[in-house]
Structure 1
Amino acid sequence: MPTVTYVHPDGTKHEVEVPTGKRVMQAAIGAGIDGIVAECGGQAMCATCHVYVESPWADKFPSISEEEDEMLDDTVSPRTEASRLSCQLVVSDDVDGLIVRLPEEQV
């Protein structure tokens, strides 16, 4: 089963085993990870599941959709080239070991 490591702004790390096909946001909520709010429940409509995905992981996910791109413009924490909505990131064996950094704030 792939693992995802969630890194809080203070450097605290939480490693979670995630079944393939599950979204990074769902795994965080299920594991009780603070820092992912997910107000819209994963519909890419609120930007409260914003995370930073660095290389080489970023290249293993599909490109940002137009809808996700628009929502990322409305994040509370600064948008960077590494910004993604975790509700749009589906875990696969290709991303085993994925590291996502959580922003300072979501709302």
Structure 2
Amino acid sequence: MLAGSGYAGNNDADVQSLLAQCKPNNGGWSYCLGYVGGVADMMAMNGVLSPRPALSICVGQTIPTYGAYQQAFINWAEAHPEKWQSHQGFGVIESLRATWPCP
């Protein structure tokens, strides 16, 4: 668990709200894609430059699409309703680390 993942602040910035925006046919879908993709880009670059488990993912030679990153977040969030009140950033980080861990 990441430090601070018990965040209890702005409800519009929690895992549950981001999950709702990530669903198809939702007006927030492009926000979700950009948000998750931006975090994933940063974490993938960290995985290449200086793998640190908390802030890195290791994707290998074939870089996943933003859609794959987004689907990883959706799958993780749906499987972890106990994390829905955590800040969306922590949820995205945890979901990507779970899907593309660094050795």
Using structure 2 for the length normalisation, give the TM-score.
0.28
The structure with the greater share of residues assigned to strand is 1
Using structure 1 for the length normalisation, give the TM-score.
0.28
The structure that has the greater radius of gyration is 2
